[in-house]
């Protein structure tokens, strides 16, 4: 099922879009659909890269850590103190 999307553009923007669509041999509607698809793909492609960069940055640091059993014991002990 298709849905309609309405956007408002000023005269200069719509003229530029029409020119781009005409140069590419397509309708304004098709040009806009392709532009939206391209932007969505670019956004979704960037997300894994951004997350991976964050993990790699975190892995470069050396933070103090304890054995998991010791950490859980200390956490539980903290719950019991007022």
For 46-76, how does the pLDDT look when each residue is reduced to its tens digit (9 = 90+)? 788 888 888 899 889 887 778 899 989 988 9
Any domain includes 77: no
Q: What digits encode the pLDDT tens for the residues 37-54?
A: 999 888 777 788 888 888
Tokens 């309405």: give the residue. 6
- Residue ranges of alpha helices (H) inside the chain are 11-23, 28-59, 68-80
Any domain includes 26: yes
CA atoms within 13 A on the CB side of 8: 0
Q: What is the pTM of this model?
A: 0.54
Q: How many domains does the chain have?
A: 1
Domain that holds residue 32: 1-62
Any domain includes 50: yes
Any domain includes 33: yes
């Amino acid at each position: 099922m298709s849905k309609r999307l309405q956007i408002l553009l000023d005269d200069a923007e719509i003229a530029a879009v029409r020119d781009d669509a005409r140069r590419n041999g397509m309708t304004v509607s098709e040009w806009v659909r392709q532009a939206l698809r391209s932007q969505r793909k670019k956004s979704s492609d960037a997300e894994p890269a951004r997350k991976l960069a964050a993990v790699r940055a975190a892995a470069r640091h050396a933070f103090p850590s304890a054995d998991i059993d010791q950490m859980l014991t200390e956490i539980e002990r903290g719950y019991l103190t007022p």
